[in-house]
Amino acid sequence: MKKIFCLNLLAFSLYANNGESIFATNQEHNPQNIIKSSIAVNSNSSYTQNSAQLYEQAEQNLAQEFEQIRQAQEEIKQLQQGRKSKNNSKNNNEDEISANELELIKQAMRNQDLKALQKNFFNKNYSGFENTSEIEFQPNKTHKIRTRFAMATTLIFDSDIDSFIVGDKNFKAEAVPNTPSALVIKPLLIGIDTSLTIFTKDKNIHTFYLYSTDYKSKDNPKFLIHIKSNNQATQDNAEQTNNDYFVIKDGIAEVKVKKSDINDNYTQKYKKANSWLVAEEIFSDKKFTYFKYSKDKLPQIPTIFAVIDKQDSPIETRTIGDYIIAETTNPKFTIKSGDSYICVENTQKQTRTQNKANFNTTKSEQK
């Protein structure tokens, strides 16, 4: 009887696509089935033992091959993970580079020709004096100043600047280092306006109206403005004021009392225990009555009442420096602080009708 032994060899193929392994997964490619279907042995053959050995050997070889394939798969996975980690690191480095190159990109943009030059600077009639000017200080006058976006305007005064107020924060105003009489103004937006008030140490108050333009404007912006004060005229006015008026001032608050209108015929009546409340000075003009109390001696401001029909009547008052100013005139007043009081009387003759008229007129003017 002819004995037949048949063994088919199995070939394995490993395919890689994007770093992934692909293997046959059909039932007929199972190594156990392949071996079983590939060995044909006659049960009565004398080669049965050899066939069993060959089967066992083939099974071991297949197990080794699949172990190698499994290890190869693990290595591929590790390579893939390493590649992803490297890509992430590369992306992070790119982000860092982008941040570092941002300033270079901005510089490159600045180097572009934006065609935003103001043409009137290149006009053949441009002399170079159009952007500077001098103005003379005049009390209570507001000066108009044309500024330009991306440019600065400098104001220079004859006296040092004490303080300033800008109406809109989109106009940037800065003091000039080591030049206390100068102020620089920069508009941060186009087509806006605001007010500017500047207090100088010579006691002048300067007001300006500012507005911003851009390169398309046909008018020249101002780069330098010198505000000149007529010192002699100012001094003459001050001397004349000192001769004709008594000035009460505290900061920017000021009241001028015409000396020819002053009436200081006031007496104060008080108990000895209330002597600390006596005013240092009392006088009036044709509108107000003034009570002097030194802030150092009497930190707490007393209350002033006008005596009308034998009754203490509240009145409007304000304080400037060491003076309490009662915004009325009246022959009698009461000064109170807690339980202490002082009776004040004007000894100058004045009719009752005139007293009421002064009191009522002052109140109506305040309203």
What string of H, E and C letters represents the secondary structure of 55-113?
A: HHHHHHHHHHHHHHHHHHHHHHHHHHHHHHHHHHHHHHHHHHHHHHHHHHHHHHHHCCC
C-alpha to C-alpha distances, 273 to 133, 188, 278, 341, 351, nearest whole angstrom: 65, 64, 11, 10, 33
User: What topology does CATH give the domain 244-366?
Assistant: Immunoglobulin-like (2.60.40)
Whole-angstrom distance, CA of residue 281 vs CA of residue 346: 13
Q: What is the pTM of this model?
A: 0.40
Top CATH class, 127-229: mainly beta
Does residue 335 register a pLDDT over 60? yes
pLDDT average, residue stretch 144-165: 95
Residue with tokens 């605001």: 194
Does residue 271 register a pLDDT over 90? yes
Q: Is the dihedral of CA 235, 238, 243, 248 positive or negative?
A: negative
Whole-angstrom distance, CA of residue 232 vs CA of residue 158: 13
Report the first-to-last Cα separation within the chain, whole angstroms: 140
Residue with tokens 């798969």: 73
What pLDDT is attached to residue 32? 53
Amino acid at 22: I
What pLDDT is attached to residue 365? 38
Residue 349: which pLDDT band, with cuts at 50, 70 and 90?
low
C-alpha to C-alpha distances, 241 to 85, 246, 259, 344, nearest whole angstrom: 85, 8, 10, 30
Whole-angstrom distance, CA of residue 27 vs CA of residue 74: 24
Whole-angstrom distance, CA of residue 182 vs CA of residue 176: 6
pLDDT, tens only, 180-213: 999 999 999 999 999 999 999 989 999 999 999 9
pLDDT average, residue stretch 267-293: 95
- On average, the pLDDT of the chain sits at 79
Q: Which of 241, 238, 206, 243 has its CA nearest to residue 225?
A: 206
pLDDT, tens only, 5-49: 444 444 444 444 444 444 444 444 455 554 454 444 444 444 455
C-alpha to C-alpha distances, 302 to 271, 282, 293, 361, nearest whole angstrom: 16, 14, 9, 24
Helices (H), 111-199: none
What pLDDT is attached to residue 240? 62
Q: Which has the minimum average pLDDT: 54-58, 281-285, 317-321, 348-352? A: 348-352
Does residue 166 register a pLDDT over 80? yes
Whole-angstrom distance, CA of residue 183 vs CA of residue 135: 15
What pLDDT is attached to residue 125? 87
Residue with tokens 């290149």: 122
Does residue 105 register a pLDDT over 50? yes
Does the fold of domain 244-366 match that of domain 127-229?
Answer: yes
pLDDT average, residue stretch 88-108: 64
Are 284 and 290 a contacting pair, CB within 8 Å?
yes
What pLDDT is attached to residue 54? 72
Are 208 and 144 a contacting pair, CB within 8 Å?
yes
> Do the strands 205-213 and 142-148 form a parallel or antiparallel pair, or are they unpaired?
parallel
Are 283 and 274 a contacting pair, CB within 8 Å?
no
What pLDDT is attached to residue 278? 95
Does residue 364 register a pLDDT over 60? no
Domain boundaries along the sequence of the chain: 6-108, 127-229, 244-366
What pLDDT is attached to residue 77? 79
What pLDDT is attached to residue 244? 86
Length reported for the chain: 367
What pLDDT is attached to residue 6? 42
Does residue 289 register a pLDDT over 80? yes
- pLDDT higher for 132 or 231? 132
Beta bridge partners of 291: 282, 324
Residue 232: which pLDDT band, with cuts at 50, 70 and 90?
low
Q: Which of 46, 39, 62 has its CA nearest to residue 3?
A: 46
- pLDDT higher for 51 or 341? 341
Report which listed range, 15-29, 40-54, 121-135, 225-239, is most confident. Answer: 121-135
